[in-house]
Structure 1
Amino acid sequence: MQSSSSSLIYIRYHACYRCRRQKKRCKPGPESAPACERCVRLGDTSCKYQEIPATAPENLHTARSSHDSSSPGLSIESQKPIHSISVLDHVLTVSDTSLMEQMEFLEWTVEDPDLMPTVFDWQLVHNDLTKNGTALPISFSLDGDSFLRTFFSQPAALRLTRCAMAAYTAIPPLAETVALSYYKRARKAVLQAIDKPTLQNVMAFYFINLFAQWNGQPAIGRPFFRAALDMLLLLQLDVDPDDSPWLFHLNLSDRQKEERRRVFWCCYWFLSVDQATTSDAVQIQLLTNRIQPPRPMEGIFKSFMLETCKTYSFIAEIRRHHLKIPTSIDEILDSESCMTLNSHLIELHQELPVDSLLIAEQAEVLTPTDYDRFIKQLTLIPKENITHVLTLNLNALAGICMVHRLKLYLSMLKSFNPQLLITKTASLVSSAITQSLDAAHRISCLLVFYLDIVEGSARDRLSPEQRIHFTPQLVVSQLNVYPLFEAMIIFWFILCRMDPVWQPLVVINAMAVKDRLIGIVAFVKRVFAVEKNTPGTMTPILTCMEAMMSEIENIYESPGRSSYKVQELELGMRVMALDGEESRECGETQEPCAFLGLLGVEVAGGIRWKGKSEEAWRLFWKLNS
């Protein structure tokens, strides 16, 4: 006859006797050790557990035995058929055990009120995604319609980071404390999710990094973005869902597949921008050859121009090249790395879509024919790409300025008199001056054109339907400030730093350029006011531009006046906490965000740019002057 013990199934509580008695958390030990971590630390080789008999219907034995093998907290002592014991025996057995011991294997965690959703949260995000109820919830980064429908069941990290972003961009504006309050709550939720790699958590970490970026504190957001990239690679989001067998059992819809792609491309886009604008960016390479490009879905996802990422990737390549200081001037003029940059520049311009390139007949000024052609080009592309086309063209032209910047700088050296140089060297420097100036002119003209059609007299050239899509928000963006700063540096250097012996080779109307630069500085001030990120990423650029304008005005409005000099100042970006909690980086002054900085040249005789290679470049120019 079978023993009664063989007919029972035993429940083993997760916590051992010692941990339960001392009310300590019982963590499983290493795989090689049969005891928990505390018992191993205290010298025990095994743990003692209390086992309570329970019953199961005989007809459920087969399914139960296969299921319990993968269920934590259950241990099957016998694989023989289970015979029932009386209900009374079972009740008496359970009643002898405390409630806490019975339920110890469950997670008794009280929900944090800060992490719970509210109707106000939903309304805030709804207004942001639908433009206060006037449009469909179309977004680039997530499925807005699905997110709103499942808002109250979304993970707290994703829900609250999206609330923080919505509060920051709310129209009409909300008090700054509202967005910061959401940020504090989101940060708490995000930190709790740091070890839980899921698609939603990748999005949450990306969004909280974006919020810090908007507030002018990229150093605060960068650790979160690094965590997002780690999760992205762990989840293999760089592999297209259609080519991911481990996802097939989920039966993902086309919308869900596209959302996974969008998460990857959001991170890829931000990584490209970050690497193009700062040396402190996460140095990791995301491969794009295993995932399909983002596709617009009517009423769900916006379109996107991957070509803008290509321009940022090329600019990041130029940044890395300029971090290494050459050993001699010859390396600037004729080196393998410089030739590689030139070839990559040509390849980039060949790969950009022709219908998106706004190329004027002349560099210095736009003609009515240029206006008509540009407007026609912009009306033939998706309306969401209008702003991307501007950034695409500005970045492509800024790349020209950056590739030739060092050769342009050679024109300030006394030893580089064109009459004393060999023909090849003089030609290289002259070509760099001409191409840099040409690109700077085209950058300034494109800004004038876009501002003219969104709020100037050229707006009359647009049809009423077109005017809806041409708004100032398409132009007033911090991303457009970086290429404008490159153009400003070129103009300032040619007017204030280039040796006069090179002037006959340059045709430039100084007064017309000065008026154009006044417009650029005014635009940057406008972006500075709109983006609300004082004292973050915009402050060093604006300060430097204003000093350049003062130096230009001093030279051309008062030719007899002594050289313009200011008190010594190193332009940097101060790291400040967003939630009042100090971190390791807080209080530090880091390299400002820009494509290249000043590369060792001082503005107004005392203003320097803080950067990893700025001091080395200053020494290089001093030794070769």
Structure 2
Amino acid sequence: MVRPNPCNTCRINSRKCDQNQPCGNCVKSRVAHCVYDVSPKTPPRPSCARCRSFHKKCDLVAPTCGRCFKAYADCVYPPAMNTPEKTHQDITDSSHETTSQAHNVFYETIQPTLLLKIVDAATATEDMVPGVRDAAAHATSLVDPDFLPTLQDYCLVARYIQSNKISPEVACDIDLSTFLANFFIEPPPLRMVLCAHAAKAFHHELSNDTVYSYYRRARKTVSQFMDKPSLRMVQALLFLVQISDGTGQSEFADLIFRYTIEMLLSLRMDLDPDHAFWRATSNLTEIQKEEHRRIFWRCAFWIKLRSTFGQITQPYVLDVNQVQLPRNLQRGPFTILAAGSDFVVNARRIHTKIPSSIHEMIVSHELIELNAHLMGLMAGIPAPMILISTRETPLDQQFKIFTNQLMHLDGVSQFNIITLSLGYFSSVCLTHRPRMYLTAFLPSGSFYLTSPQYASELISSLAQSVDTAQHIGRVFMFLLLATQEYNLKTNLSSIFQPTFDIPKLFPPSFWTWGCAIGIFECSISLWFALCKVPPEWKHRIGFDETAAKLSLLIFREFVDLVQLNLRGGSESVPTHSNSASPNPVNDRDATPTVISPIVTCIHAMVSEVFELHIFEASRESTPSSTTTNTVAEPLELSMTVLSLTEKGELKPIRTQESPYAMMGLLGVEVKGGIRWRAGYEKGWRHFWRNLHLMER
């Protein structure tokens, strides 16, 4: 037996021991027993396999060391470590296991309203949970308290995950059960951004100070960890872009999105996880590989989506052929969506150039090629991936077809079909809109109205614009009827008597602001046909005014719902006092969003239609004083760019930005005074004013 060195008394007092029995120090101190620890020394714990292979120092934390945790790699210790010593991290891990097993019981025993009160009160007083505060007393001197997780944060995110308010992107891109189980050890940026998402979702139940406090903490955390690229950081940046877009901070959202793409490329996430590069540098699990692919394809999709709405100022190119699709995606829908996005960019480029003559506007080579491109897009969309209806088919039968087409699909497939349908048909409206305008602005008896060659082109453009817009009206009438916890406000009894119960397929949070962009394009076509196109042209295409009116009301109701989602939602959706009323009840929150100009413009369109006595039933039931044909005061719709102040308030920094849309109003005015702000609008107004000078 090997006698250790020194004795227990000398070791405790940090004194040199002469190793006698008893030792000299114990004799002098009159210690009754001089005891040596005769147990063998504990052998050093070996490093994990990954740290040994890279010849790096391992911190020996079980079950996952720090290096493996940061690299999202499997951490494997030798068999000798089957029963490692308990460390602080081990205790923390076991507490997380207990938390994940008991969180459902804990959550179910406390009312959700009480949880929100806890969050609100704790944030207002800036108090952390006492236990967490005590445990982190030393850490807070080195780590910013805004980065530390609290029980209030956990309760808020737990309710968010279990509610129908969760963002579809969050639900799709994150393994939520794992995230909640590891909430207290998740990287601070992703954790705080999801807390901000959750606070925004319950915006109407929390105070504004609480909501903006979470958003401020999320922005602060992301900025502090920007120099530490990781997959979780890319996820946090993407979700922060969502929040910033929704709160009107478009400039900040564009900046963060650029950082997201740059970080994705620096991490070489443009290579598939099964690529030789990743096999040589890390050992990713299948779950991590799927997250890697989902984030890449999300970024690729957002690049196309944002370029469609004019948000990308510099092009980004991601090679989608280098990364496999995740299990819940198909390459076909993305390819079609990408082609549709390229088409819209090309159409916007053509329409921003003011034509030099009426002839060029009707039969130019660019427009002919654009029409051919549009027909090619339609030919490339498989029938099951687009929602199609006809005017001759009864609504009840159409809704049955839509139900059968969407009912048995997952949320991603449903989103793809709806996005493809809206994207294609709104592109049809965009393509034909300038020529549709000619039917109203050309003077009566114009050569271009009487010539069979030109008149047939104008009739075709008018018919296609109106028919596709009315079709989208029928589609979104069904989609609103199929939205959970939502009751349609527009009265459909005059045209639709359901013979079956339409299933509730979509949560309210399913509808994102991208849908409102396509709805705006269809709304312009219907409003112009109702208010500007002469009756003889409507008669020539068999224009159904009743269907157009209802579609416009449906569009108004839908953008109201989307705006409500952007502001955080509410338990009660704002109602309209009358389906044709020009002044519907406003939301409780007047915070501007990225689609506020679109919402204002569509409301003004409905108001103008109402005041022009197009809605006969409404005119009979409304006092005459409210149905006079009024002209709006001059107003130019622009986008207000907001910024978050140090006090957590959103303050405007610029108000003269062009709003997001496929195209603006192309020089026309709603209610005689409401304009769209864009660089090409002034040129189009001049073109329409001088149209009579271009006659042959």
What CA deviation, in whole Å up to 9, does each residue of 1:548-606 have, x standing for no partner? 22322333359999964221110011122234579998233311222212011111221
Aligned 8 A contact 2:309 2:662 in 1:
yes
Q: How does 1:572-611 map to 2 (within 5 A)?
A: 572-580=638-646, 586-611=653-678
Alignment partner of 2:322: what SS?
Answer: coil
- The amino acid across from 1:573 in the alignment is M
Partner of 1:432: 461
1:452 aligns with 2:481: yes
Does the 8 A contact of 1:130 with 1:138 survive in 2? no
Question: Aligned with 2:592: secondary structure?
Answer: coil
In the alignment, is the contact (CA less than 8 A) between 2:244 and 2:250 conserved in 1? yes
Q: 1:541 aligned to 598, 602, 611, which one?
A: 598
Is the 8 Å Cα contact of residues 307 and 345 (structure 2) preserved in structure 1?
yes
Residues 415 and 390 of structure 1: is their aligned pair in 2 closer, same or farther, counting only changes over 3 Å?
A: same
Aligned match of 2:7: none
CA pair 351-291 structure 1, distance change in 2 beyond 3 A:
farther
- Which of 239, 247, 270 is the matching residue for 2:302? 270
Alignment correspondent of 2:145:
113
Tell me which residue corresponds to 1:411. 439
**Is the Cα contact below 8 Å between 1:129 and 1:137 reproduced in 2?**
no
CA contact (8 A) 1:411 1:502 kept: yes
Deviation at 1:282, TM superposition (A): 5.0
The code of the aligned residue for 1:392 comes to L
Give the structure 1 partner of residue 549 of structure 2: 514
1:127 to 138, 144, 159: 159
Q: Are the aligned partners of 2:566 and 2:593 in contact in 1 as well (CA < 8 Å)?
A: no
C-alpha contact 2:429 2:465 (8 A) present in aligned 1: yes
1:250 aligns with 2:282: yes
- 1:133 and 1:584 map into 2 onto residues whose CA distance is 26
Q: Retained in 2: the 8 A contact 1:158–1:200?
A: yes
Offset, 1:489: 0.8
Change (3 A) 1:327 1:231: farther
- In structure 2, the CA distance between the partners of 1:205 and 1:563, relative to structure 1 (3 Å rule), is same
Instruction: Give the direction of change, closer, same or farther, for the CA distance of 1:526–1:130 in structure 2 (3 Å limit).
Output: closer
Among 489, 507, 517, which residue is 1:482 paired with? Answer: 517
Instruction: After TM superposition, give the deviation of residue 333 of structure 1 in Å.
Output: 2.4
Checking the alignment, whether the CA contact within 8 Å between 2:337 and 2:420 is kept in structure 1 is yes
Letter of the 2:386 counterpart = L
* Pairing 1:162–2:191 present: no
Residue among 198, 202, 206 paired with 1:174: 206
Contact kept? 2:658, 2:678, Cα under 8 Å: yes
Matched, 1:613 2:641: no
Distance in 2, Cα, partners of 1:542 & 1:592: 11
Structure 2 partner of 1:325: 354
Identity of paired residues, percent? 32
The worse-fitting range, judged by mean Cα deviation, of 387-396 and 417-426 is: 417-426
Q: CA deviation at 1:413?
A: 2.8
CA 1:259 to 1:414, structure 2 compared with 1: closer, same or farther past 3 Å?
same
Q: Which letter maps to 1:550?
A: S
SS of 1:197's equivalent in the other structure is coil
CA distance in 2, matches of 1:261, 1:574: 35
CA contact (8 A) 2:553 2:606 kept: yes
Residue 577 and residue 381 in structure 1: after superposition, are their counterparts in 2 closer, same or farther (change >3 A)?
same
Q: CA deviation at 1:172?
A: 8.5
Give 1:397's match in structure 2, choosing from 412, 425, 443. Answer: 425
Shift of 1:259: 0.7
Distance 1:315 1:383 in 2: 25
CA contact (8 A) 1:404 1:432 kept: yes
Q: Once the 2 structures are TM-superposed, how far is the Cα of residue 230 of structure 1 from its aligned partner?
A: 1.5
The alpha-carbon distance between structure 1 residues 304 and 538, as it changes in their structure 2 partners (threshold 3 A), is: farther
Kept in 1: contact 2:308–2:345 (CA 8 A): yes
Q: Offset at 1:525?
A: 2.8
User: Deviations for 1:238-284, whole angstroms, at most 9, x for unmatched residues?
Assistant: 22222352444312122111111111122222232322223565543
The answer as to 2:306 corresponding to 1:239 is: no
How far 1:141 moved relative to its partner? 1.9
Call closer, same or farther: CA 1:225–1:330 in 2, change over 3 Å.
Answer: same
Distance 1:459 1:142 in 2: 38
Change (3 A) 1:359 1:186: same
Q: 2:591 corresponds to which letter in structure 1?
A: T
Q: 433-442 or 283-292: which moved more?
A: 283-292
State the one-letter code of the partner of 2:282.
L
Q: AA paired with 2:174?
A: L
Counterpart-to-counterpart distance in 2, 1:125 and 1:475: 18
- Asked whether the 8 Å contact 2:530–2:609 carries over to 1, the reply is yes
User: C-alpha separation between the residues in 1 aligned to 2:318 and 2:366?
Assistant: 23
Residues 368 and 188 of structure 1: is their aligned pair in 2 closer, same or farther, counting only changes over 3 Å? closer
Does structure 1 conserve the Cα–Cα contact (< 8 Å) formed by 2:254 and 2:311? no
CA RMSD of aligned residues (A): 3.9
| Residue pair 2:631, 2:672 contacting (<8 A) in 1 also | yes
Q: Cα distance 1:195–1:329, how it changes in 2: closer, same or farther (>3 A)?
A: farther
Q: TM-score, normalised by structure 1?
A: 0.73
Q: Is the 8 A contact 2:639 2:656 kept in 1?
A: yes
CA deviations on 1:477-509 (whole Å, 9 max, x unpaired) are: 433322222222111112222345534423223
Give distance in 2, aligned partners of 1:387 and 1:127.
24
**What is the aligned partner in structure 2 of residue 551 from structure 1?**
608
**Other structure's SS at 1:588 match:** strand
Aligned mate of 2:636, from 552, 567, 570 = 570
Pairwise CA distance, 1:538: 3.0
Query: 5 Å matches for 1:193-232?
Result: 193-232=225-264
2:321 corresponds in structure 1 to 289
Q: CA deviation at 1:336?
A: 3.6
1-side partners of 2:237 and 2:259: how far apart? 7
Deviates more, 1:313-322 or 1:347-356: 313-322
Write the distance in 2 (CA, Å) between the matches of 1:507 and 1:422.
20
- In structure 2, the CA distance between the partners of 1:303 and 1:429, relative to structure 1 (3 Å rule), is closer
Higher mean C-alpha displacement, 303-312 vs 372-381: 303-312
Determine the C-alpha separation between the residues in 2 that align with 1:120 and 1:317: 49
Distance 2:534 2:284 in 1: 64
Is the CA contact (8 Å cut-off) linking 1:278 and 1:592 kept in structure 2? no
Whether contact under 8 Å (2:386, 2:417) holds in the other structure is yes
Instruction: Pick one of 184, 193, 199 that aligns with 1:152.
Output: 184
* Contact 2:170-2:239 at 8 Å conserved across structures: no
1:475, 1:226 → 2: CA distance? 25
Q: How far did residue 383 of structure 1 move? A: 4.7
For 1:312 and 1:176, locate their aligned partners in 2 and report how far apart those are by CA, in whole Å.
Answer: 37
Alignment-mate amino acid for residue 210 of structure 2: V
Q: 1:313–1:461: structure 2 CA closer, same or farther, 3 Å change rule?
A: farther
Counterpart secondary structure, 1:577: strand
Give the counterpart letter for 1:238 in structure 2: D
CA distance in 2, matches of 1:452, 1:584: 37
Match of 1:355 in 2: 384
